[in-house]
Each structure stands twice: as structure tokens, then as C-alpha cells.
Structure 1
Amino acid sequence: MKILLLNDDYPPRGASSVGTIVEGLAKEYGERGHAVFILTSHRREENPGILRMGNVVSLPISYRASLRHYRCLRMGRVSRMIDEEIRRIQPTVVHAHNIHQYLTYDALRIARKHTDRIVITLHDVFSFSFARLSTAKYLSSLGEDAHMTWKDHVQSVGWEWNPLRNTRIRGAFRKNVRWVTVVSNALGRAAAQNGIENATLIYNGIDPAPWQCGEAAVNAFRAKHGLEGRRVLLFGGRLSVDKGAVELLHALECIRREIPSVLLLVMGDTERWQGLVEHAQVPQNLAAHWRCTGWLERPDVLCANYASDIAVIPSLCLDTFNMMNVEAMAARKPVVGTIFGGTPEVVVHGETGFVCDPRDIDTFAGYLKTLLQDDALRERMGEAGRQRAQEYFTLEKQAKEFLRLYQE
């Protein structure tokens, strides 16, 4: 087959987790003998022309961020470029991933002109929500009620709300897409509650073979970040209040009273992290118990997983899958994660880690203390996590399921 993958960003220019997933799928498809092409984007300020790098085509697309919820539907210039590229490639299958910022949902209409085998994978909530889904009723229902009203949308983005956006997106799916897939059952249920029904579940995966880190590299990472002799909790991503950063800091404050060697290792933007620390209003001396590395390159992310004792995913939003769950499990690390979103589908409570409502600080901190104080339990859960990751969440399994779908 000739497979065209669409995503707003793609390595090495793009650093999103979805871009990395798409890159992995492209590699898997290619190894199975399929012709694979990537259509992505870059900012016009970087380069005003179309960039061609082997099988990757990057389109120059920029606009004011406040117009996102209008521009995501269609931009005439972008649509013309996409039409020309799809006509040139003549794919058997077009598989869209994140197109809700630059490539636009109109790419689906254009693709339908050239093939009827069109897939879109929802990696997040932005096909039906204007921001991360963390409404009061979602949290109070413990993640069961994800339905959103126009008032929820206005509250999340204010005057940037586009009242026609969601209807247009559902129409684009209904008219042009053969298969909508989701990365977790939690996302599938939320999508259905907001008018996107009958989605197929295909979990994300990683390639476990390169997800190994030598002892020398781990020791060097530990030395660089001052981790020797510390019990390390790993936290990272796009740092924000709805990722549970405040609750994690309060849990850390509880833990350090009993485990003075505890250290929270934060992978993410240092300025954002400092803002969250100030927002949490924790004691100033708690700073001795966290390190913020800034954004890390993939090899260092790997080392961070191996250099840590536990991964922490305390999201207070519909965190649809969170690749950190699987990455930590592949590195034999137990996970203490949230009940909100897809984490409970990845992390088996009591077997590969624990899941809880992070707002319950005592329970949250208690699970972390239990693992930090019990080496045997930590090792047992870490090994169970590695086995689960290899059985259910590999890139090979994900690619096979998509290829089977393409051929239906």
C-alpha cells in the first residue's frame, strides 16, 4: 500500500509525542514493504517554502494563535497545497493524526477526492473540546461525565470560542472519514458523549528494543542532575495546573517528612514549573526536593526513566493516554497515576503501580511512600509493568492493528 500520514508536526522539527508516534508508525510500515509518505508543517517564519526531505513534505503554515478555532477548519492556501501534494502522491490510504492546528480538518475533504480509505486518530480531546477537558462536573463525576456545553467552551477559551467549529468537525468526519480511532476507551467515551460515536480503539505503543539505557549513561545522568543517594519521582510533559502539578507538590511536602531523600525530577519548561511552584504556595525549603531539567532530548528522557524510582502521572484532566505511562513501564518503573483519562487502562492498580484521584493528597502521597519504602514491591511492580508494556503497548502491535484496519 501507499500510505500517507498527516500530522501538524514531525521530527526533527517537531517535538510532540504524537509526532514521535507517527514517526514510529512510518518506520514500521516501511519495514513491512509499504510506501510511506508524511505530510506535515512548519512555520513560515522559519522558511516560507515547501520543504521536501525524502518522503517527508512540510508545508509553510502560520497564523495568529487566537484564530486557531476558526483556522483549524479550513485555510484556502493550505487546502490548495495539500490538494497538490495528495494528487502527486496518489495514496491508497490517508491517515490523519493531529491536524487541528495547521493542516486543518479540510484535509479530510481533500483526501476524500483521492481515496475512500481515510482514517483519523484522535490523540486528544481537541476535536470536541476547545481546551483540556477539566470541567467541574468531569472531575466531580470522577471522569464519567465528559459532556461539554457551550458554557463550558466559553469558560475555557472566552471570546476565541467558535460556535460552529464542533459541528463542522463532526460533519467532516461523517462525510469523509471511514474510520475514527481513539487511543483509549476513556477518550472514546468522551468523544461519544460529545457527538463523535463508533470510534475504534487502538492503543499507542513504543518500540521496546531501543528503549534501553546503559549503566554508564544512567550514572552520568544521575551525576549531572544530582540524583545520587536520592529517591527519585519522575514527572514531566507540558506542565500546568491541570496536569496535577500543584497536588504533586503538596504530596511531595508530605513525603519529605518521612523520606528526607525524596527528590522530584521534573522534565519540562523551567519558567512554567517555577510559576506552578509559586501557585502551589509550598514552603520555600521544598525546593531542595525538586529539580527541573528543562526540556530533554529523547536520549535524556530515556536516561531519566532509568535513573528514577517511580513515574508520577497526576493529571486532573482527561489525559487520554500519556506516553509516560508506557515509557516508564518499559523501563521497569512502577507508575502512580491518575484515575482521569486513559491511565487506568495502561496501569493496573496494585500490579504495575497505583491509580487514584490526585486531589486526595493523603492517598496519593501514601501510594508514593509505599513504593519508595519497599524496594521489593517497587521491583516487582516494575517488572510486571515491563511485561504488560511488551504485551499490549508495542509499536509493532499498534502498526499491525492499523494495517488490518486499512485493508478492511
Structure 2
Amino acid sequence: MPLYWAFSSSLEQGSILVGTCTPLFCKNPNTAMHIVLLSDKYHQPGASAGVTAMLAEGYAQQGHRVSVITSHRSEEESTIRNQDYVISLPISYSLKLRHYKCLKQKHVSRMLDDVFRELRPDIVHAHNIHMYLTYDALRIARKYTKNVFITMHDAMNFNYGRLNTKRFLDSEGKDVRTTPLDHIRQAGLQYNPLRNCIIRHILRKNVVKVCAVSHALKSALDVHGIPRTQVVHNGIDTNFWKADRKGAQRFRKKNRFEDRKIILFGGRLSRDKGSTPLLHALNRVRALVPNVMLVVLGDPKRWKGLLQEAHVPANLSAQITTIDWLSREDLRAAYSAANVVTTPSLCLDTFNLMNAEAMACSTPVVGTCFGGTPEVVKDSATGFIRNPLKTEEYAEALVTLLADDTLAKHMGEAGRKRVEKKFSMEKCVETYLNIFADSLNCS
């Protein structure tokens, strides 16, 4: 049944303007669960937002009612947006206050209370809510259903940024402990000494399960006292992410890469994503593979800064191309055109969807030893796992795949099979639905 709203322009009241919000797709209303997903961002670039959208579609395909609560900036529009099954709340503040505002904002809580009162969900499945929707959303959700879950996609529930401490890097990702001093170094004057305690309290009191997208992340959550954790690996649409040979040819021709050996690298470009070790490795690789081309997917201006801080020979830039933005179809073509995809992160990179997407497109991956990548990329089977800080070993792995087309093809095919078996959207959706059903049966 459509939900009728009347949102006013008053953010403090969060009241309603006439409109409808129809939950997404419902095959059988007698047996379907009404699942409400929470995510600060939705249908926007970024792993967690994309995973949330995929799950919404997957839950609906299995016959369940789906609604999504997300956010937009109030300076863009000061009223609640209500389109199809997505309800977007207007939320803005100075991000300098995020480590306080992420816990609770009174006007946001009032809007959420109104929305949940109308939706009356059976299941609430939260994702990244640590910027706008706030952790108080979990308390409010618990008023309307006992079945509240959250999936952690990063370390922000116990850390103040990416987990990249010296002890973490020195231990090749095994030592995931952080200290208040680490937090102060990351947050500076924005440090909130009570934040982590409050987050743990909210989770203990209101959440049935805290799902982690990798065992690496679960280990870190456990060390930091996050309760009731369980691993659910991310999944991808394997019907879409598959080798596109014609697209690969077009991509190579368009960018004049016909005679190049391509290393593909991308994501949110930063030093934590391994830009410096990648450039140092590339400098070694080109001596053995002169026609190598590093294709960087991301902001060219940001990449220029990372290139400068790496202190590599100036002429190395001749073997680097940056591409600012690609559609999903063009990204699939880029994966298919690449000889190897690399993800050399120097932080707790919890899953990295590039690993799974590249493997689904039958392209081998040279991935980092840090974080969840070793759970996705099987070392010496679907690619190689290396410590990017060990430049010689990292470069050698890249050269091996660039120089041996037969091995690269074999590993690429093995990667496709591995993703189909372990990291499909269907498997991910089924796992979550089983968790939800168990909770409903016990409540």
C-alpha cells in the first residue's frame, strides 16, 4: 500500500508534504518481509552505496517489500524527497563536527521517527550511517522492530579514518589494534573521546547482528569490542560483470592502447590506496615490459599530486594515463581490456569491489596483503597477493602476468569461477535473507 506523506519545509519539524512512497516490488504480500535499508548515500559512486542498491534490488527480486532511507544535502533541497521506494532526508552540517554529529542529531531523529512510524518495517538493514543518518537511527528503528542489523563496510565505527597504523603495516595487517593516541593523531581537534563507547553501547542495545564484509574487518571489530559480529562477503552482479571482448577492443582503440600491456588501477585515489608503491613498482616493471601502460581511473588532479609526492622519474608519466570517469559499461570494458588489475592498498581495505569485478571479467589481480583482498583473490590461483611495500616482489608479480599471456588467461578464468561461486549477488542476498529469517523466527 502506498505511504502518504506531507513534508513541510521545516527541518526541525520534519513534517510532511503530499506524496507517495511505494515500497519496491512485492510478489506475495502474505509472505514477504518489509525490509528497510539505511544508507547515507544511495545510487552514488562508492562501494557501500552500490552494495546497498544491489541488495535492495536483490531483496525485491526475492519477493520482499523494500524501502530505502538515505540523505541529501539540505542546501540542495530543504524538504524530504520521496521518489518511488526511496526516502531521502535533508541533512547538512559542518563535517568538522562529524565525530559528534554522527551519533545523534535531534532533527534527524525526529524525521526518522516519522518515517519509521509510517513504514512499520519487519527488518531494518543499515549500512554506512556514520555521517548523516547517525547511529541514533538504530535506536529509533528498534522502537518499531526487534530485527535491526547493520553491515560495516569500513573501520569508522571504531577508528577515525582508514586503519593504517605503523603496527598494522609492519605486521602485514595482522595487528589491528588502535589506541586513543592513534585516534587523536587522525582526528586532531575533532577527536571525540566518548564516540566509540557510545557507538558500542548503541550497537549492543539495538542491533541483532553486526555484519562485516570480510574476516579481516570482523577481526578488527572483535578487537575493538563491537558485539555480535558475523561475516557476509559482498556480492556483485555476475550477469553484468563478465568479459566484454568487443568492449575491450573499443576501449583499447579509443585510448590508443592497441599495442600496450595494461595495468589497471582505480578507486578513491589516495596514498592509502597504494599510489606510491605502485609507481615505484611501475618504474621497475617498465625496464622488463617496455610497452606497459598504467591506466588510472580517478580524479586527474588528485593523481597529479600523488605522482609528485611519489618522487619517481619524471619520464615515468609517459607510461601513465588517467581517465576521470567511466560508466559501468565502460568500466567493464576497461576491466576486460586490462592485462592485470592491481589493488595495492596500504590500509584495512575491507573488501575492494575492484577485485571481484575484475575477476568476474576474467582479468587476474595483483592485490594487497592488507585487509580483505586475500579473501577474494586466491594467491597464485586467480592472481597474486603481495605486500606493496616490498617493491621488488610486487613488481615481479606484475611482470609475471604481463609477460605470460597463458598464465594470465588461466588465472583470469579461475577468477571468474571463484566469483561465481563465492561472491555473486545471489549468494550475498541469500545469506542476508537467511539471517533475517532466523531472527524473525526467534522473535
TM range (shorter): over 0.9
Comparing 222-231 and 378-387, the one that deviates more: 222-231
The question of 1:106 aligning with 2:136 is answered yes
Q: Indicate the residue corresponding to 2:250 in structure 1.
A: 220
**Residue-pair matches, total:** 406
The answer on whether the counterparts of 1:268 and 1:296 sit within 8 Å (CA) in structure 2 is: no
Give 1:122-201 correspondences, 5 Å limit: 122-201=152-231
Structure 1 runs not aligned, ≥5 long: none
The answer on whether the counterparts of 2:243 and 2:362 sit within 8 Å (CA) in structure 1 is: no
Q: Indicate the residue corresponding to 1:10 in structure 2.
A: 42
Report SS of the residue matched to 1:113. Answer: helix
Q: Indicate the residue corresponding to 1:388 in structure 2.
A: 418
Mapped to 2, the partners of 1:53 and 1:178 lie a distance apart of 29
Mapped to 1, the partners of 2:159 and 2:116 lie a distance apart of 29
Given residue 352 of structure 1, which amino acid in structure 2 is its aligned partner? T
Report SS of the residue matched to 2:341. Answer: strand
Mapped to 2, the partners of 1:269 and 1:65 lie a distance apart of 22
State TM-score, norm by structure 1: 0.98
Give 1:65-104 correspondences, 5 Å limit: 65-104=95-134
The answer on whether the counterparts of 2:244 and 2:336 sit within 8 Å (CA) in structure 1 is: no
Query: Identity percentage over the alignment?
Result: 48
Q: Which one of the candidate residues 279, 291, 298 is aligned to 2:321? A: 291
Q: Indicate the residue corresponding to 1:354 in structure 2.
A: 384
Mapped to 1, the partners of 2:97 and 2:298 lie a distance apart of 26
Mapped to 1, the partners of 2:394 and 2:187 lie a distance apart of 30
Structure 2 runs not aligned, ≥5 long: 1-32, 439-443
Q: Which one of the candidate residues 236, 253, 256 is aligned to 1:206? A: 236
Mapped to 2, the partners of 1:343 and 1:213 lie a distance apart of 21
The answer on whether the counterparts of 2:68 and 2:87 sit within 8 Å (CA) in structure 1 is: yes
Comparing 198-207 and 378-387, the one that deviates more: 198-207
For residues 278-307 of structure 1, the C-alpha deviation after alignment (integer angstroms, 9 at most, x for no partner) is: 000111111111111013222222111111
Comparing 294-303 and 198-207, the one that deviates more: 294-303
The answer on whether the counterparts of 1:69 and 1:161 sit within 8 Å (CA) in structure 2 is: yes
Structure label with greater radius of gyration: 2
For residues 250-284 of structure 1, the C-alpha deviation after alignment (integer angstroms, 9 at most, x for no partner) is: 00000011111101111111111000000001111
Given residue 74 of structure 1, which amino acid in structure 2 is its aligned partner? K
Given residue 200 of structure 2, which amino acid in structure 1 is its aligned partner? R
The answer on whether the counterparts of 1:231 and 1:261 sit within 8 Å (CA) in structure 2 is: yes
Report SS of the residue matched to 1:407. Answer: helix
For residues 303-341 of structure 1, the C-alpha deviation after alignment (integer angstroms, 9 at most, x for no partner) is: 111111111010010000000000000000111011100
The question of 1:399 aligning with 2:433 is answered no
Q: Which one of the candidate residues 48, 52, 64 is aligned to 1:22? A: 52
The answer on whether the counterparts of 2:269 and 2:299 sit within 8 Å (CA) in structure 1 is: yes
Give 1:373-384 correspondences, 5 Å limit: 373-384=403-414
Q: Indicate the residue corresponding to 2:353 in structure 1.
A: 323
Q: How far did residue 223 of structure 1 move?
A: 2.4
Q: How far did residue 32 of structure 1 move?
A: 1.1
Given residue 233 of structure 2, which amino acid in structure 1 is its aligned partner? Y
Mapped to 1, the partners of 2:172 and 2:281 lie a distance apart of 20
Mapped to 1, the partners of 2:365 and 2:244 lie a distance apart of 22
Comparing 155-164 and 90-99, the one that deviates more: 155-164
The answer on whether the counterparts of 2:208 and 2:228 sit within 8 Å (CA) in structure 1 is: no
Q: How far did residue 213 of structure 1 move?
A: 5.6
Mapped to 2, the partners of 1:49 and 1:219 lie a distance apart of 46
CA-atom RMSD, angstroms? 1.0
The question of 1:260 aligning with 2:266 is answered no
